[in-house]
Amino acid sequence: MLESDEQKKRAELIITLLAKLYAVLELSVDNCPVCHKALDHDFECPISLAWSLLTEEQQRDARTVIRALALSIGNDDEPLGDPMVH
């Protein structure tokens, strides 16, 4: 089954958003809202799957963007990857 360009773009957007959510959850003490695990996602978790679809460069870029956003709103107390209280 062939997907339209619009469907492919929507799928890419969903994957990108889920992957960014993975980076946000790295900064959080909250459990994943999908698989309900902290830090280590279930292997079937869509958030973890989306993250795994990104290249290392895309993962680094996503972390950089999320870190910059956190810094811009004043959450610069903790280094990337360490839990941060909301």
Q: What is the per-residue pLDDT for 23? A: 83
* 37: nearest Cα among 79, 29, 9: 29
Q: What is the per-residue pLDDT for 40? A: 75
Q: What is the per-residue pLDDT for 7? A: 87
Q: What is the DSSP string of 55-80?
A: -HHHHHHHHHHHHHHHHHTT--SS-T
Q: What is the per-residue pLDDT for 29? A: 77
Q: What is the per-residue pLDDT for 86? A: 42
Q: What residues of the chain score a pLDDT lower than 70?
A: 1-2, 39, 75-86
* 18: nearest Cα among 38, 32, 29, 7: 32
The domain limits of the chain are: 10-72
SS3 31: coil
